[in-house]
Amino acid sequence: MISQKMVENTIYQLFKEAVINLPEDVKSALKKAYEQEDNEIGLLNLKAILDNIDTAEEMDVPLCQDTGLPIIFVKMGPVAVENLQQGIINGVEKATREIPLRPNVVHPLTRKNTGNNIGKGIPQVDIQLIQEEQLEFTVFPKGFGSENNNALKMALPGDGIDGVKKFVAETVITARGKPCPPVIVGVGIGGSSDLAMKNAKKALLGKVGERNPDKVLAQMEEEILEEINKSGIGPMGLGGRTTALDVKIKLADTHTAGLPIGVCIQCWAGRHATAILKP
């Protein structure tokens, strides 16, 4: 039996890890961007980002004031768990209180803040059933400077690969500096409208710099990335070589009449952390 307390402590520790320490692949990509940058303002902005990352780790504090909307991806196998939902809620409340996380959750219309990052439908939890006898959590604190620039297009089958590439590149370029570049771009292709957007977000959990095993999708990722970086928007939207660190695509089959395309943009702080519990 995996206890409610184990779930609570795991969620708390994962949020602490995610908001303070960037994954190594993201840090490496930012350092590489700094080494390749030839724009003076771009260099200054990348240096500020890298210094910010080091300071957050040294001081053991969140690396951005926007500690995001609490999103948790769960992969659940045939295991016994004591009150999974309450364990997750308690973990988010504890993280908000003790790390601390900024209380970001509000009623969408009245804007009343719940004060603890718990609300209707929040934390947002996605559960995927798996065969392994384990429980896997990935926390994904998603800031809204980038989230506000996401986009969905219910394209037609005739738009094809070129239509996908054009829509993704235009979405990111239109956002310019608002999502705090250099960004990571998640793309969901296929499924239904909601699945395309979910897969776009899940795509952001892949390692930066690691290409898709599907050769067609890998080529699309490279071509979209090149097109975005040709824009010259650069770090923080103030000019430079690197507007995006990577483009990640996740695909699902779809209906014969449709071609859904979801785009989820992540700021330079590509925060997430994963842990596995076993009975």
pTM here? 0.96
Cα–Cα separations (whole angstroms), residue 259 to 63, 81, 157, 168, 278: 37, 38, 5, 13, 39
pLDDT (average), residues 11-38: 98
User: What 8-state DSSP symbol labels residue 251?
Assistant: E
Domain boundaries, the chain: 144-266
- Which band of pLDDT confidence, cut at 50, 70 and 90, is reported for residue 116? very high
- What pLDDT digit, counting tens, does each position of 162-197 carry? 999 999 999 999 999 999 999 999 999 999 999 999
In whole numbers, what is the pLDDT of the chain averaged over residues? 98
Q: CATH for 144-266?
A: 3.30.1330
pLDDT of residue 152: 98
Q: Is 9 exposed, middle or buried (0-12, 13-18, 19+ CB in 10 A)?
A: middle
In the chain, what percentage of residues exceed pLDDT 70? 100
226 pLDDT tier (thresholds 50, 70, 90): very high
Peptide bond into 100 cis (omega under 30): yes
